[in-house]
Amino acid sequence: MTAIDPSADDDPFSFTPFTRHPFFTHVNRWVLERVICPGRQVIVDLGCGPGAVTQLILERTSGQQPPPRVIGVDPSPSALAKARAAISSKWAEFKQGSAEWLSKLVKSADAVVFLNAIHLMPDKLQVLKEIRRVLNPGGALAFNSTFFNGAYVEGTSGFWRRWIVRSVQALREKGMDVKHDGHAAAMQWFSADQYSAACTAAGLRPVTVELLRIEMTAESLADIGRFSLFIEGALPGVPLKEGSEALQIGLARTMEELKIDRVPRYWLEVVAEAV
């Protein structure tokens, strides 16, 4: 196994640079530690992207006998190519596919981890039911996300709104006609209670539902502002290059106006067991 080197990433809209920030490892390790344990022999890393979480799973299980099988699943061919290039463990394999039809890709699993991706699912209940179908008795699902209702620490919602407003202004200054209602509207955000209820409805008993508060530095915000799925969520319909540049300008202006260099935010962390 070799470490992911973000500087070697030639895709300007990759998620990889964001994954190197220490708080991101923290929010992922925190929930992995609650589901990855000896006896769980088949682990699915759903929405594995370029493989940052797959690496954490392999680190956590290194030395375990027998070693578990780790199956990374993602619809993005370019993300999978990066994961395959970065991870050479013979216990890890990668499959192209979507959470919506996971049971067609994986027969059974002892743990499914779905980190930083569940918010992207248009039909979250259907996906949770699909995950439940592949989990063995005693199996567990872990997921986390910072795109949920409740993610904004009190007093910070103005920052997120202003970042979008300033970015839209930057696009308009360049002559682009952008429709904007003040919200990143592309995804439907659930609250922690809605996620708990959806787990229960899917046959998964929530055993951990917690919020972790982290500090997002200016560098980490700039990195997420260059990530394709974030750009599409924040500025729907805007081409990636123009959207990424506008988000950088909007971020710099917002931080300057508010005289801040970091913003706190919550990550939602959930573990649910198959019932």
In the complex, the residues that contact ligand SAM under the rule CB under 6 A are 15, 19, 46-49, 52-53, 74-76, 79, 98-100, 115-117, 120, 229
Shortest spacing between CB 74 and ligand SAM, in angstroms? 5
Edge to edge, the sheet with strand 92-96 lists: 92-96, 69-74, 42-46, 109-115, 135-145, 262-274, 204-217
Closest to ligand SAM by CB, 145 or 178:
145
Shortest spacing between CB 96 and ligand SAM, in angstroms? 10
Number of helices followed by number of strands (H, E) in the chain: 11, 7
Q: What does DSSP assign to residue 146?
A: S
Closest to ligand SAM by CB, 162 or 243:
243
Closest to ligand SAM by CB, 146 or 167:
146
Q: Can you tell me the distance from the alpha carbon of 117 to that of 242, in angstroms, rounded to the nearest whole number?
A: 24
Shortest spacing between CB 59 and ligand SAM, in angstroms? 14
- Pair type for strands 204-217 and 92-96: unpaired
Shortest spacing between CB 165 and ligand SAM, in angstroms? 24
* CB-CB contact of 64 with 8 (8 Å): no
- Pair type for strands 135-145 and 69-74: unpaired
Block residue for tokens 């308009």 = 172
Annotate 31-45 with b (16+ C-beta within 10 A) or e (fewer). Answer: bbebbbeeebebbbb
- Pair type for strands 204-217 and 262-274: antiparallel
Residue nearest to ligand SAM (CB): 49
Shortest spacing between CB 253 and ligand SAM, in angstroms? 25
* 113: three-class secondary structure by DSSP: strand
Block residue for tokens 């370029």 = 50
Shortest spacing between CB 44 and ligand SAM, in angstroms? 10
Closest to ligand SAM by CB, 116 or 254:
116
Closest to ligand SAM by CB, 81 or 201:
81
Shortest spacing between CB 79 and ligand SAM, in angstroms? 4
Closest to ligand SAM by CB, 100 or 242:
100
Closest to ligand SAM by CB, 171 or 223:
223
